[in-house]
Amino acid sequence: MPDVAVVGSGPNGLSAAAVMARAGLSVEVFEAAQTIGGGTRTTELMQPGHFHDVCSAVHPMALASPFFRAFELPRRVDLITPEVSFGSPLDGGRAALAYTSLERTATELGRDGAAYRRLMEPLVRHIGDVMDFTQNQLLRIPRNPVMAGVYGLRTLEQGTGLWNARFREDLAPALLSGVAAHAISHLPSLAASGAGLMLGALGHADGWPIPRGGSASIAAALADDIRAHGGVIHTGTPIDRLEQLPATRATLLDVAPRGLLDMAGDALPGRYRRALEAFRYGNGSCKVDFILSGPVPWQASGLADAGTVHVGGTRTELAASENQVSAGRHPERPYVLVAQPSRFDPGRAPDGRHTLWTYCHVPAGSTRDMTGEVMAQLERFAPGFRDLVVESHAITAAQLAQYNRNYVGGDFSAGVMDVRGLVQRPVASPVPWRTPLLGVYLCSSSTPPGPGVTGMPGMHAATYALKDIFRLPVPDLSLG
Residue 267: give its domain's CATH number: 3.50.50.60
pLDDT at res. 373? 98
pLDDT at res. 422? 79
Residues 108-118 have a mean pLDDT of: 97
Residue 169 included in any domain: yes
- 108 and 150 assigned to the same domain: yes
Residues 319-328 have a mean pLDDT of: 97
pLDDT over 90 (residue 337) = yes
Prior bond of 188 cis (ω within 30°): yes
pLDDT over 90 (residue 143) = no
CA nearest 217: which of 345, 112, 303?
Answer: 345
pLDDT over 80 (residue 158) = yes
Residue 66 included in any domain: no
Contact (CB, 8 A) for 342 and 214: no
Residues 158-185 have a mean pLDDT of: 96
What is the share, in percent, of the chain residues with pLDDT greater than 70? 99
Residues 365-372 have a mean pLDDT of: 98
pLDDT at res. 54? 93
pLDDT at res. 418? 83
- Report helix, strand or coil for 341: helix
Buried b vs exposed e over 120-137: b needs ≥16 C-beta within 10 Å?
Answer: bebbbebbebbbbbbbbb
- 44 and 190 assigned to the same domain: no
pLDDT at res. 139? 63
pLDDT band at 301 (very low <50, low <70, confident <90, very high): confident
CA 428 to chain centre: 22
Residues 314-332 have a mean pLDDT of: 97
The number of residues in the chain equals 480
pLDDT over 80 (residue 72) = yes
pLDDT band at 335 (very low <50, low <70, confident <90, very high): very high
Residue 327: give its domain's CATH number: 3.90.660
- 299 and 203 assigned to the same domain: yes
pLDDT at res. 278? 94
Task: Please provide the average confidence, as pLDDT, over all residues in the chain.
Answer: 95
Please identify, among 369, 403, 437, the residue that sits at the C-terminal boundary of a domain: 403
- 395 and 425 assigned to the same domain: no
pLDDT at res. 138? 65
- 22 and 114 assigned to the same domain: no
Please identify, among 353, 380, 403, the residue that sits at the C-terminal boundary of a domain: 403
pLDDT over 80 (residue 330) = yes
- Tell me: the pLDDT tens digits for 29-61? 999 999 999 999 999 999 999 999 999 999 999
pLDDT over 90 (residue 120) = yes
Between 64 and 138, residue with greater pLDDT: 64
Q: Which long-range contacts (CB under 8 A, 24 or more apart) does 419-426 make?
A: 419/190, 419/191, 420/280, 421/191, 421/280, 421/282, 422/138, 422/191, 422/448, 422/450, 423/138, 423/139, 424/275, 424/279, 425/450, 426/257, 426/275, 426/276, 426/279
CA distance 103 to 114: 9
The amino acid that residue 277 corresponds to is E
Contact (CB, 8 A) for 71 and 138: no
Contact (CB, 8 A) for 164 and 188: no
Number of domains in the chain: 2
pLDDT over 80 (residue 137) = no
- 92 and 47 assigned to the same domain: no
- 292 and 330 assigned to the same domain: yes
